[in-house]
Chains A and B, each alone.
Chain A
Amino acid sequence: MIVVDDLRIRFGDHDVVRGVRFSVEAGGSFGIVGESGSGKTTVMRALAGLNDAWDGYLQVAGVPLGRGRNADLHRRVQMVFQDPYGSLHPRQTVDRALSEPLLVQGIGDVDRRIRKMLSDVALPAAARFRYPHQLSGGQRQRVAIARALISEPSVLLLDEPTSALDVSVQAEILNLLTDLRAERQLTYLMVSHNLAVVAHLCATVGVMSNGEMVEILSTEDLRAGRTQQPQTARLRALSLEMN
């Protein structure tokens, strides 16, 4: 579903992503971990079409990514950001936020779809005409997930989707993401610095360091400590120590 081959991205004369290569099968879930500045979010932004200045080969749902905008690609690949307060328009109601992707994509049946979507992410129907500041942090992230899913994408890009949330809310959102993936056969690509969160949601984990993906391993191998690279072992040790 996602193929990334020899992806290179540079900002000015600084190489941010240096030949990253991985693939995710349809219905699969892949997590990228690494320290800040390791390039993990930059990879995701290229896949989302938010940054055109890349070299290499990117393919989503069998279609190679070109430069510039492609409406159908943007329907099929949707992204959820870290801070729901920053990613929702403060002066637009939930209804407006959810109807916009439908209008842009020319998808009809707006009213029914919004009602269905709100119930799918377990938001009360009354939330539909609220503004973001009238919702709790967890509810806001549910709106952001609903907005990503309303155009019925096949790939969801999750950039630290729970790190701005309280741990009790994080549990609810992780459960929701687990359920949605099963119901809709979604493919997930997730970026996080929290190894436990990535391992919870993803079957395969890629470790990035200094612009390179130094290791790709299954979550079972990661849990069992069958790591090959020192960066992976270090992240694993830290995560175990803090839990």
Chain B
Amino acid sequence: MLVEIAGLNIVFAGRNGPHTAVRNVSLTLGTEKLGIVGESGSGKSLTARALLRLLPPAATATAEVLRVDGTDVLQASERRMQTIRGHRAGLVLQDPKYALNPVMTAGAQIAEAWRNRRKGTRREAREAAIDLLAQVQIRDPARVADCYPHELSGGMGQRVMIAMMLAPDPALLIADEPTSALDAPVQMEILNLMEDLVSRRNMGLMLISHDLPLVGHFCDRVAVMYAGRIVEHLAADRLAQASHPYTRALLDCLPSLAHPRPRLPVMTRDPAWLA
């Protein structure tokens, strides 16, 4: 198992007492594609960040089991965590504009990630970077390697980010809203690319998104989070048969090109969902 989580709680210390942002979350991930879906504040990103011990300082994570690639994240030394972050598990973030270093060329950033793991000369690292750019289907990899992030489009930036994460050959890719900053056609390209790379390299993928149909399209399994809990866990191809009213409401409130409605149903949040 690449990821094992049992009974994860994440608590923020606040002025008005502690606030539990993630409550009793349990899930496992092997070499498969797992989608975690929820609205803002549902705890989906925090759950993923807890795996890399990248929580904000005010947050405390406790769990019965919290393991990435066999390492107990709650007990591991900082040194051990550094080999997990980047090496065993890559993290792709939403907006390449903010996640890439603005004063380093794309090639230099990928080469840095590559040399972090492997011993090699500068020249080898650059060649590896160009090869990785080609793997993420950039047409002119040598030119793009010399570009700064502001010279790249959103889709290109996200490809650079994926190339950087793939450089150390990780076993797990965590993608937190990797395509929300992109428009629809580019979104599809990036997701197809990730799907292809993950299955070819036999990796595990954790795809975090607010977009339930999109996740259902690309993942094997989907966990739906609401107010810090997993309210439903189901196979992606059974999304249409979702039983939890929150999952159903999430699907129902989307406007659809095929099935027009004069008004969209508005979600009524049932306090029982918090039970």
Answer yes or no: do A and B interact.
yes
List the interface of chain A (C-beta within 8 A of B).
35-37, 137, 166-172, 174-175, 178, 193-197, 199-200, 219, 222-223, 234-236, 238-243
Over the window 246-262 of chain B, the binary record of Cβ atoms lying under 8 Å from chain A Cβ atoms (1 yes, 0 no) is 00011001111110101
List the interface of chain B (C-beta within 8 A of A).
39-40, 153-154, 182-186, 188, 210-214, 217, 249-250, 253-258, 260, 262-267
Contact partners of A35 in chain B: CB under 8 A: 183-186
Number of A-B contacts (CB under 8 A): 89
User: Separation in Å of the B44 CB from the closest CB of chain A?
Assistant: 12
User: Separation in Å of the A240 CB from the closest CB of chain B?
Assistant: 6
Is B210 touching A167 in the complex (CB atoms < 8 A)?
A: yes
Is B253 touching A167 in the complex (CB atoms < 8 A)?
A: yes
**Contacts known (A168-B250, A193-B184, A194-B184); A240 close to B257, Cβ less than 8 A:** yes
User: Separation in Å of the B224 CB from the closest CB of chain A?
Assistant: 12
Contact partners of A194 in chain B: CB under 8 A: 184
Is A166 touching B183 in the complex (CB atoms < 8 A)?
A: no
Is A37 touching B254 in the complex (CB atoms < 8 A)?
A: no
Contact partners of A197 in chain B: CB under 8 A: 255
Question: What secondary structure prevails in chain B residues at the interface with A?
Answer: loop
Which of B250, B257, B265 has a CB less than 8 Å from the CB of A196?
Answer: B257
Nearest-neighbor residue (CB-CB) of B260 within chain A:
A223
Is A243 touching B254 in the complex (CB atoms < 8 A)?
A: yes
**Contacts known (A166-B40, A175-B263); A223 close to B153, Cβ less than 8 A:** no
Nearest-neighbor residue (CB-CB) of A169 within chain B:
B39
Question: Considering the chains assembled together, what is the distance between the CA atoms of A171 and B268 in angstroms?
Answer: 12
User: Separation in Å of the B130 CB from the closest CB of chain A?
Assistant: 26
Output the residue of B183, B186, B255, B267 with the most chain A CB within 10 A.
Answer: B255
**Contacts known (A137-B40, A222-B257, A243-B257); A168 close to B184, Cβ less than 8 A:** no
Nearest-neighbor residue (CB-CB) of B252 within chain A:
A171
Contact partners of B263 in chain A: CB under 8 A: 175, 178
**Contacts known (A36-B154, A137-B40); A238 close to B253, Cβ less than 8 A:** no
* 8 pairs, A vs B, C-beta closer than 8 Å: A35-B184, A36-B153, A168-B266, A171-B265, A197-B255, A242-B184, A242-B188, A242-B217
Is B256 touching A243 in the complex (CB atoms < 8 A)?
A: yes
Question: Considering the chains assembled together, what is the distance between the CA atoms of A68 and B183 in angstroms?
Answer: 33
Question: Considering the chains assembled together, what is the distance between the CA atoms of A175 and B253 in angstroms?
Answer: 11
Nearest-neighbor residue (CB-CB) of B256 within chain A:
A243
Is B153 touching A37 in the complex (CB atoms < 8 A)?
A: yes
Question: What secondary structure prevails in chain A residues at the interface with B?
Answer: helix
Contact partners of A222 in chain B: CB under 8 A: 257
**Contacts known (A137-B40, A242-B214, A243-B213); A196 close to B254, Cβ less than 8 A:** yes
Question: Considering the chains assembled together, what is the distance between the CA atoms of A240 and B184 in angstroms?
Answer: 11
Question: Considering the chains assembled together, what is the distance between the CA atoms of A232 and B40 in angstroms?
Answer: 32
Nearest-neighbor residue (CB-CB) of B255 within chain A:
A200
Question: Considering the chains assembled together, what is the distance between the CA atoms of A195 and B260 in angstroms?
Answer: 12
Is A200 touching B260 in the complex (CB atoms < 8 A)?
A: yes
Contact partners of A200 in chain B: CB under 8 A: 255, 260, 264
Question: Considering the chains assembled together, what is the distance between the CA atoms of A193 and B267 in angstroms?
Answer: 24
Which of B182, B184, B255, B258 has a CB less than 8 Å from the CB of A174?
Answer: B255
User: Separation in Å of the A79 CB from the closest CB of chain B?
Assistant: 20
Is A171 touching B257 in the complex (CB atoms < 8 A)?
A: no
Question: Considering the chains assembled together, what is the distance between the CA atoms of A184 and B214 in angstroms?
Answer: 36
Question: Considering the chains assembled together, what is the distance between the CA atoms of A7 and B211 in angstroms?
Answer: 36
Is B257 touching A175 in the complex (CB atoms < 8 A)?
A: no
Is B210 touching A166 in the complex (CB atoms < 8 A)?
A: yes
**Contacts known (A166-B210, A167-B39, A242-B217); A196 close to B154, Cβ less than 8 A:** no
**Contacts known (A193-B184, A194-B184, A199-B260); A166 close to B39, Cβ less than 8 A:** yes
Is A175 touching B255 in the complex (CB atoms < 8 A)?
A: no
Contact partners of B212 in chain A: CB under 8 A: 167
Is B210 touching A175 in the complex (CB atoms < 8 A)?
A: no
Contact partners of B186 in chain A: CB under 8 A: 35-36
Question: Considering the chains assembled together, what is the distance between the CA atoms of A91 and B60 in angstroms?
Answer: 31
Is A167 touching B250 in the complex (CB atoms < 8 A)?
A: yes
